[in-house]
Amino acid sequence: MSFRIVLDFNTFHSHKCLGIEHFSFAVDFDHIKIDSESLHSSLTLEGERTKQEDHDGKLHGADDVCSGSNKLLGTANSRTTDDIFNLAPGSSNASFLGNVDFGSYSQGFCTTDIGVDLSFTGGHNVAFDQKESKLMISSSTGSSGCSGSATACLDDENMSDNRPVKRKRLSSCSSSKTNSEHNESRIVLFNEGNRGDTLVTEKRLRKPPRRYSEESVEQKSRSNSKKSAPRASKDKSRPSESHKHQWQKKLKAAPVVYKDKSFNGGCIQVPFGLPIEESHSAKKIICWEPEEIKENRILCIKDKNDVESFSAESEDENTEDECATKVYNAQKGNSRRKHHISWTLSEVMKLIEGVSEYGVGRWTEIKRLQFSSSSHRTSVDLKDKWRNLLKASDTQLQNRRKVVVGRKQTSQQVPESVLCRVRELAAIYPYPRENKSKNLCSAPSSSSFKSTANNMLISLPTVM
């Protein structure tokens, strides 16, 4: 016997649900005003259906709900194919705390075989307490409203052995902020029990992100190739997991994925953790980070701690770097692409200093000596940044000549004087290819160099 519960806080398509057999549930809303009208109608509908189709069906607490209380208890004991409870949260709710309790009502569920498939956006957090067999849904966002979906599976151990449960997502969730007025909460109960076949055809509605497909292809090709470069270890973290990890770690969302043998070893997936108060989050955090990445990070950090010149840096610069490092560490294991950490002025200065000291192209040297304290910023990053600085300084120069009014992006982040310094260094240490194209001022020799050098030397004192 297998039950699946879908909580859908999105705008809904109407999902067909399978029948419910001997299933009890309780929904508890602690901090929610429930729109009595819509809830009433829904419950009435449900009540009628229950009565019509199963005389044993009971519906507890309907009075409470309709009178505005925050409690909804129910026992669904029917075989309907479309059991849907609609709960419409009131308009001005800043907080939503839902609790679907299987433990106290279910009959003979095996709580060890519980899978949860959760996906929430818009400020919800979903946690599944395995001991209590409780599915906790909480939201603490005020304005963003609620949207999202949750799917939970309870599988009877006895059944799951010979009948693998089909994974299924019934709803897609949008991250768009919606008005609370328009939110609905739908609880869909259905039984997958001997009906696995009927479910097979239903596919998840949300198509995997592009990176996912890209990477799965990539993994295939990569597994065929011989090398496992350091990057390959990064790639081993599966993207879906990466995202989960990212969200969970960053937002302290509750872990909601449990392995279920009935799922053929696969995880039920896609929790979208959302910003919630820590007190709401569950206790257990599943770490998705592959060991290798952890190790790499440790090595990396160790590496950088080789007592370097960064003691010369000002304190706030160090904290800046540490901060960025933390962010980076939090993100590193999660997605293959670093989340753009913008360069601080101090970093730019360090880069410039390094270039002036070691010359352009000695990126590893510069990284080792100037960026020892920040484990992000690889030598490649330095190179890229230098290239960008060069470009910026160039455009800045052109802008200044043209007296263009619309100077925009470049000189705002990086002070003009810094760019001048960059130009100076570019003149001294010609950057391959870059200098060729901009033959105007960066020729390292003769007259053009003099003029550029003069230009910058004026502003240099302001920089250093």
Partner DNA sequence: TTTAGGG
Partner DNA sequence: CCCTAAA
- Note the Cα 411 to chain centre separation in Å: 32
User: Under the criterion CB under 7 A, does residue 231 sit at the interface with DNA?
Assistant: yes
Binding of DNA by 376 (CB under 7 A): yes
Q: How far apart, in Å, do the first and last CA atoms of the chain sit?
A: 73
Nearest to DNA of 408, 433 (CB atom): 433
Query: Which CB sits closer to DNA, 40 or 362?
Result: 362
Site string for DNA, 299-328 (x = CB under 7 A): -----------------------------x
Closest alpha carbon to 396 in 413, 381, 380:
413
Bridge partners of residue 191, in order along the sequence: 3
User: Is the Cβ of residue 45 or residue 380 nearer to DNA in the bound state?
Assistant: 380
Is residue 369 a contact point for DNA (CB under 7 A)?
no
108 binds DNA (CB under 7 A): no
- Out of 37, 337, 357, 398, which residue is the one contacting DNA (CB under 7 A)? 337
Least distance from DNA to the Cβ atom of residue 324, Å: 8
Among 108, 265, 432, 461, binds DNA (CB under 7 A): 432
Residue 237: φ, ψ to 5°: -70, 120
Which one of 336, 391, 407, 438 is in contact with DNA (CB under 7 A)?
336
Q: Is residue 259 near DNA by the rule CB under 7 A?
A: no
Window contacting DNA (CB under 7 A); options: 54-62, 198-206, 336-344, 410-418: 336-344
Rg over CA atoms, the chain: 29
Interaction between residue 16 and DNA (CB under 7 A): no
Question: Helix, strand, coil: what percent of the chain each, to 5?
Answer: 45, 15, 40
Q: Rounded CA gap, 250 and 285, in Å?
A: 12
Nearer to DNA, 17 or 390 (CB): 390
- Provide the 3-class DSSP secondary structure of residue 28: strand
Return the range that interacts with DNA (CB under 7 A); candidates 66-74, 89-97, 332-340, 440-448.
Answer: 332-340
Residue 452 CB contacts under 8 Å (≥ 6 apart), including other chains = 423, 424, 427, 441, 442
Q: Which lies closer to DNA via its Cβ, residue 229 or residue 457?
A: 229
With CB under 7 A as the contact rule, the residue among 174, 329, 346, 364 that binds DNA is 364
Binding status of residue 226 toward DNA by CB under 7 A: no
Report the residue number, 260 or 320, with the smaller CB distance to DNA: 320
Query: Exposure of 275 by Cβ count < 10 A (0-12 exposed, 13-18 middle, 19+ buried)?
Result: middle
C-alpha–C-alpha distance, residues 305 and 374, integer Å: 9
Give the distance from CA 172 to its chain's centroid: 16
Work out whether 219 is an interface residue with DNA (CB under 7 A).
no
Given the rule CB under 7 A, which of 3-11, 82-90, 382-390, 394-402 is the region that contacts DNA? Answer: 382-390
Q: Is 245 in the site for DNA (CB under 7 A)?
A: no
The DSSP code for 444 is S
CA 149 to chain CA centroid, nearest Å: 16
Q: Which is nearer to DNA, 145 or 430 (CB)?
A: 430
Backbone angles phi, psi at 424, to 5 degrees: -60, -50
Q: Are 291 and 298 a contacting pair, CB within 8 Å?
A: no
**Closer residue to DNA, CB minimum distance, 258 or 363:** 363
Which residues fall within 8 angstroms of residue 438, CB to CB, at 6 or more apart?
394
Tell me, by CB under 7 A, how many residues bind DNA. Answer: 27
**C-beta of 172: minimal distance to DNA in Å?**
27
- Give the total residue count for the chain: 464
Out of 271, 431, 441, 442, the only residue in the binding site for DNA (CB under 7 A) is 431
Q: How far apart are CA 368 and CA 375, in angstroms?
A: 10
Applying CB under 7 A, which part among 137-145, 354-362, 405-413, 438-446 lies near DNA?
Answer: 354-362
CB of 384 to DNA, least distance (A): 4
Q: Is 408 in the site for DNA (CB under 7 A)?
A: no
Which residue in the set 220, 226, 340, 401 belongs to the binding site for DNA (CB under 7 A)? Answer: 340
Q: Which of 28, 156, 353, 434 binds DNA (CB under 7 A)?
A: 434
Residue 20 has phi, psi (to 5 degrees) of: -110, 135
401 near DNA (CB under 7 A): no
Farthest CA pair distance, the chain = 99
Judge whether 116 and 284 are in contact, CB under 8 Å: no
278 touches 255 (CB < 8 A):
no
Task: Please state the closest distance from residue 208 (CB atom) to DNA, in A.
Answer: 17
The binding site for DNA (CB under 7 A) comprises 229-231, 328, 336-338, 340-341, 360-365, 376-377, 379-381, 383-384, 388, 431-434
